[in-house]
């Protein structure tokens, strides 16, 4: 008997919940927003929304790309162009430069830099690279995928790896996704 009463009260409660009108939110009573408008979007608006969505998708994909060192300038620039990320070009020669040894050990080989994502890639040359303003040991430059120097990122006294990572992130953020870049083919 007790089971029947419990079952009946559960069924009654379920019916009340199923058929009870839900209260409307206060925002639903007002005029519709521009987003909720029943007017169709113009072709220009649709194109703009599609471009914004595409740019956001590219930026999200870039954020997942790990930092990587390359053995050749050409492969570093190709990687940068594919992902629209900057290249950290470095002139360093640890065989003849004691400061270069410390710089490579503490900064360039740091695990935090290797685990970073979406900040670009790097190339270390044992020869001066005047086209990138890298002529003193150690010196470095931030270069766009098309080879244009956009900043200096050399060995700065007192800087830790976090400052270098932050500067590379800023350079990556400054690169706007371009419609014609190679990553559009992906």
Q: Which domains can be identified in the chain, with CATH numbers?
A: 66-174 (3.40.30.10)
Across 3-7, 104-108, 117-121, 157-161, the highest mean pLDDT is recorded for 104-108
Are β-strands 139-143 and 87-91 bridged in parallel, bridged antiparallel, or unpaired?
antiparallel
Which range among 31-35, 149-153, 174-178 shows the weakest confidence by mean pLDDT? 31-35
pLDDT of residue 79: 92
Mean of the per-residue pLDDT values of the chain: 78
pLDDT-above-70 percentage for the chain: 74
pLDDT of residue 114: 82
**Buried/exposed 36-72: b ≥16 CB within 10 Å, e otherwise:** eeeeeeeeeeeeeeeeeeeeeebbeebeebebeebee
pLDDT at 150 over 50: yes
Task: Tell me the mean pLDDT in the region 40-52.
Answer: 88
Phi-psi region of 120 (alpha: psi -120 to 50; beta: other; left: phi over 0): left
Higher model confidence: residue 61 or residue 17? 61
pLDDT of residue 186: 37
Q: Which long-range contacts (CB under 8 A, 24 or more apart) does 73-81 make?
A: 73/123, 73/125, 73/129, 76/121, 76/122, 76/123, 77/143, 77/145, 77/147, 79/121, 80/120, 80/121, 80/143, 80/144, 80/145, 81/145, 81/146, 81/181, 81/182
pLDDT of residue 130: 92
Contact 183, 82 (CB under 8 A): yes
Give the SS3 label for residue 90.
strand
pLDDT at 154 over 50: yes
pLDDT of residue 184: 40
pLDDT of residue 21: 55
Higher model confidence: residue 186 or residue 94? 94
Give the SS3 label for residue 50.
helix
Which range among 57-61, 69-73, 140-144 shows the weakest confidence by mean pLDDT? 57-61
Task: Tell me the mean pLDDT in the region 87-92.
Answer: 91
Task: Tell me the mean pLDDT in the region 116-143.
Answer: 88
């Amino acid at each position: 008997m007790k089971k029947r009463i419990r079952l009946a009260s559960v069924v009654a409660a379920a019916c009340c919940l199923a058929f009870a009108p839900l209260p409307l939110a206060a925002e639903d009573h007002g005029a519709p927003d521009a987003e909720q408008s029943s007017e169709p979007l113009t072709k220009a608006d649709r194109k703009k929304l599609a471009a914004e969505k595409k740019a956001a998708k590219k930026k999200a994909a870039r954020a997942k790309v790990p930092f990587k060192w390359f053995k050749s300038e050409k492969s570093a620039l190709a990687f940068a162009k594919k992902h629209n990320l900057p290249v950290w070009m470095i002139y360093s020669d640890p065989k003849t430069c004691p400061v270069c040894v410390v710089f490579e050990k503490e900064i360039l080989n740091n695990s935090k830099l290797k685990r970073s994502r979406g900040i670009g890639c790097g190339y270390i040359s044992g020869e001066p690279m005047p086209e990138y303003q890298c002529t003193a040991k150690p010196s470095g430059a931030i270069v766009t995928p098309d080879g244009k120097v956009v900043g200096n990122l050399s060995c700065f006294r007192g800087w830790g790896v976090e400052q270098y990572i932050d500067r590379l992130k800023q350079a990556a953020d400054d690169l706007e996704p371009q419609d014609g870049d190679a990553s559009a083919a992906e």
